[in-house]
Amino acid sequence: MKYSFSRKQLAIPYAIFLVLFVILPLVVVLFYGFTDGDGNISFHNFIAFFQSKKTVGTLLYSLVIAVITTVICLLLAYPTAYILAKFKVKTGPAMLMLFVMPMWINFTLRITALKEILDLLEGNLAMHSYANTIICMVYDFLPFMILPIYNTIAKLDNSYIEAAEDLGASKAYVFMRVILPLTLPGIVSGVTMVFLPSMTNYVVLDMVYNSTYIMGSLIGSYFSSYDWHNGSVISIILLIIIGIITAISARFTETGSRGSKRSAIN
Amino acid sequence: MRKLIQNTWIWLVLFFMYAPILILAFYSFTDSTMIGSVRNFSLQNYVTLFTTPDLISMIVGTLVLAVTVALLSTILGTIGAIGAFYSGKNSRNFIEMANQIPVVNADVVTGFSVCILTIAIFRIAKESFIPLVIGQTALCVPFVYLSVIPRLKQMDSSIYEAALDLGCTPAQALRKVTFPQILPGVISGFMTAITLSLDDYFIATYTKPATFDTISTYVVNATRGSQTSIKTALWALSTIIFLVVVLIVFFMNRNNNKDNQ
C-alpha cells in the first residue's frame, strides 16, 4: 500500500497540541474546582467562595475597577479614534501607528515609567493607590481600545451621515442615531479587550503598591500556597465571566475580541 | 477652531502615552537616582545594564525564549492552518473553536491551568523549561493561525491544482506554491508571537524555573525594593526597547509604503 500525502493531515499535530495543552488544562481546572482534597466531587469550594466576605468583596472590587477602567478608556479612545479616522488618508494610519506602538513595549517597563512620574507628582504612591491603579491600567490598555474603534470608524460609509444630514437631522442626532450604532462593533470589541485584563492584571496593582486584591491576585496567592482547588475555583469563575463577555461580543462582531489585538501588524 | 480642539486633544493623549517613556529616557542618560532632580550627563546606567551578569542573562534569556516560542508557534500554527483549511467542516470547526480559547482567555487562567497540567499532573519539572515553552506556545499559536488563515482564503486554489497537473508532488506544490503565497501571514504571525512572548508576565511567572527571569518577571521583582543601580539600569533597558520598537515600526511603514506604490 502506498502512503499518500494529503493536506488535511497537516492539521493533526496542531489538533493534538490543542487537545493536550489548551483543552486538557481547562478540564484539569474543572476537575480541581469541583473536587476536594480526597478527589471526591464537591461543591464546597464554590460555596466557600460565595460565603466568604473577602472573596466576594474581591469579585465586586475587580468588577468596579474593570468598569471604571473600561469607561475611562472608552471616553479617551472614542474621540481619539474619531479624530484619527477623519485625518487625511496619508497621515491617519501613520498617526494611528503612534497610538498603537506602546502595545509592543513591555508593559512592566511602561508602568515603571508612569510610576516614576506619579511618584514625583504625588510624593507617596501608597497614598493614592486606588487612583494610581486606575491611571496605570488606563495607560496600559488604552491602545487596545483605540485600535478596534478606529477600524470601524475608518470603514464607516459617509453617505449614511450625509443622508441623515440632508434629511434634516441635527449633529447630535446624527451621532446618536447613525454614527454610534454603526461603530458599536468596534466599541464592543474594545470593551472586551480592556474589561477582562482590568479584572485580572494584578501586576499593575502590585507595582503601585495597591495591597487590595482583584480576581487575578487571588489566583496568584492560591498559586503561591499550592492550593490548586481554590485557584481552580477562581479560574472557573473567570472563565464563566469570559464566556458571558464572549457571547455578548459575538452578537456584535464577527471575529472574536482579541483577534484584532495585533491586527495593526498585518 | 474645531481643528484646534481636535489637534489639542490628539496631542494631549499622545503626551499621556509618551511623556513617561520619554522623561524616563532622558533621565536614563543622567546620574540621577530619581526623576525630577537634574544632575550630570552619564552613561553609567547603560554600562551597568551591559556589565551586570544578572541583567545580561535575563535579557538574553528573554530573547532566546521569545525566538524559541515564536519559531515553534509559527511552525505549528502555519501547518495547522493549512491542514485545518483543507479539512472537513467538523474538524475545521473543532480547531477554530479550540484556537479561540487562548485568544479570549485571561492570561492568568492560561498560565495557571497550564501550570497545574504540566507540573501537578504530568510532573514535568519547571527547571526543564518545558512548562514555560508549552505555556507561551499555547498562547502564541492561535495568533499565528489567525494571521495565516486569511491568506489561505485569499489564495487562488487553481494554482495549486495546476502545479499538481504539471507534475509536482503535493509536498512540492505546498512548498513552492502555497507557502510563498501565505508567507506574509506567516511573518506577521511570527512577529505577533515574538511580541506576545516578550510582553508575557503571567504564563512565565506560573511556569518558569525559579532561577530564571524574563524581563517582565525581573522588572516586577525589582519594584519590590531593590538596589538603586538596578532600578536606573532598567530605565536604560526601557529606553533601548523603545528605540528598537520605533526603528522596527519606521522600517515596516517604509516597506509598506513602497509596496503600495
- Contact (CB<8Å) B17/A84: no
Angle at A265 between CA A182 and CA B260, to 5 degrees: 90
DSSP annotation of B34: S
Query: Is B155 an 8 Å CB contact of chain A?
Result: no
CA distance, residue A181 to nearest chain B CA (Å): 22
Note the pLDDT tens digit of each residue in B147-178: 999 999 998 888 888 988 998 888 888 888 88
A205, A133 Cβ separation under 8 angstroms: yes
Cell of A31: 476537575
| Position A76 pLDDT exceeds 80 | yes
CB neighbours of B252 closer than 8 A, spacing ≥ 6?
none
Please indicate whether residue A122 or residue A263 has the higher confidence score (pLDDT): A122
Q: What is the mean pLDDT of residues A194-223?
A: 91
pLDDT of the residue at A165: 87
Q: Which of residues 147-186 of A touch B (CB under 8 A)?
A: none
Cell of A141: 490598555
Q: Which of residues 170-189 of B touch A (CB under 8 A)?
A: 170-171, 174, 185, 188
Q: Which of residues 99-138 of A touch B (CB under 8 A)?
A: 99, 101-110, 112-117, 119-120
| A159: confidence class by pLDDT, cuts 50, 70, 90 | confident
Q: Is residue B41 helix, strand or coil?
A: strand
Torsion of CA B115, B119, B124, B128, to 10 degrees: 50
> Domain A53-265 classified CATH 3.40.470.10?
no
| B45: confidence class by pLDDT, cuts 50, 70, 90 | very high
Q: Which residue of B has its CA nearest to A121?
A: B36
Q: Which residues of B222-254 are buried (b: 16+ CB within 10 A; e: fewer)?
A: bbeeeeeebbbbbbbbbbbbbeebeeebeeeee
Cell of B211: 532561577
Q: Is residue B38 helix, strand or coil?
A: coil
Q: Which among B21, B98, B201 is the nearest to A110, CB-wise?
A: B21
CB neighbours of A166 closer than 8 A, spacing ≥ 6?
none
> Given 1.10.3720.10, 3.10.105.10, 2.160.10.10, 3.20.20.70, which CATH number is that of B65-210?
1.10.3720.10
pLDDT of the residue at B47: 94
- C-alpha distances (whole Å) from A231 to each of A11, A128, B109, B116 are 33, 29, 9, 10
Backbone conformation region of residue B137, classed left if phi is above 0, alpha if psi is from -120 to 50, else beta: alpha
Note the pLDDT tens digit of each residue in B72-121: 999 999 999 999 999 989 999 999 999 999 999 999 999 999 999 998 89
| B258: confidence class by pLDDT, cuts 50, 70, 90 | low
pTM of this structure: 0.90
Q: Provide the terminal-to-terminal Cα distance of chain B, rounded to the nearest Å.
A: 35
Share of chain B above pLDDT 90, in %: 72
| A254: confidence class by pLDDT, cuts 50, 70, 90 | low
- Contact (CB<8Å) B107/A200: yes
Backbone conformation region of residue A87, classed left if phi is above 0, alpha if psi is from -120 to 50, else beta: beta
ipTM for the complex shown = 0.91
Query: Is B158 an 8 Å CB contact of chain A?
Result: no
> Rg of chain B over CA atoms, in angstroms?
23
Q: What is the mean pLDDT of residues A82-87?
A: 90
Report the range out of A153-162, A254-263, B34-43, B115-124 with the highest average pLDDT.
B115-124
Cell of B12: 494631549
Closest of B185, B245, B196 to residue B66, by C-alpha: B196
Q: Return d(Cα B226, Cα B221) in angstroms, integer.
A: 8
Counted across chains A and B, CB pairs separated by less than 8 A come out at 261
Phi, psi (degrees; rounded to nearest 5) at A41: -65, 130
Closest of B20, B25, B22 to residue B234, by C-alpha: B25
Q: Which residue of B has its CA nearest to A118?
A: B20
Phi, psi (degrees; rounded to nearest 5) at A73: -60, -45
Q: What is the mean pLDDT of residues A107-125?
A: 90
Mean pLDDT estimate for chain A: 88
- Contact (CB<8Å) A242/B104: yes
| B261: confidence class by pLDDT, cuts 50, 70, 90 | low
Q: Is residue B30 helix, strand or coil?
A: strand
Per CB-CB distance under 8 Å, the chain B contacts of A221 are: none
- Contact (CB<8Å) A7/B86: yes
- In sequence order, what DSSP letters do the residues of B92-155 get, joined into one string? HHHHHHHHHHHHHS-HHHHHHHHHIIIIIIS---GGGSHHHHHHHHHHHHHHHHHHHHHHHHHS
Mean pLDDT estimate for chain B: 91
In chain B, where are the structural domains located? 65-210, 225-261
- Contact (CB<8Å) B143/A262: yes
pLDDT of the residue at A216: 92
DSSP annotation of B238: H
| Position B255 pLDDT exceeds 80 | no
pLDDT of the residue at B249: 87
| Position A171 pLDDT exceeds 90 | no
Note the pLDDT tens digit of each residue in B131-140: 999 999 999 9
pLDDT of the residue at A256: 43
Q: Which of residues 37-66 of B touch A (CB under 8 A)?
A: none
CA distance, residue A247 to nearest chain B CA (Å): 11
Per CB-CB distance under 8 Å, the chain A contacts of B95 are: 11, 14-15, 18
Q: What is the mean pLDDT of residues B221-247?
A: 88
| Position A258 pLDDT exceeds 60 | no
Query: Is B138 an 8 Å CB contact of chain A?
Result: yes
Per CB-CB distance under 8 Å, the chain A contacts of B172 are: none
pLDDT of the residue at A3: 57
Per CB-CB distance under 8 Å, the chain A contacts of B224 are: 206
- Lowest mean pLDDT: which of A71-75, A105-109, A247-251? A247-251
In chain A, where are the structural domains located? 53-265
Q: Which residue of B has its CA nearest to A208?
A: B223
Q: Which of residues 204-263 of A touch B (CB under 8 A)?
A: 206-207, 216, 219-220, 223, 228, 231-232, 235, 238-239, 242, 245-246, 256-259, 261-262
Note the pLDDT tens digit of each residue in A47-60: 999 999 999 999 99
Q: In the block, which residue shows the cell 505555556?
A: B135
- C-alpha distances (whole Å) from A73 to each of A28, A109, A192, A245, B209 are 35, 20, 12, 17, 36
Q: Which among B102, B224, B245 is the nearest to A104, CB-wise?
A: B245
pLDDT of the residue at A262: 42
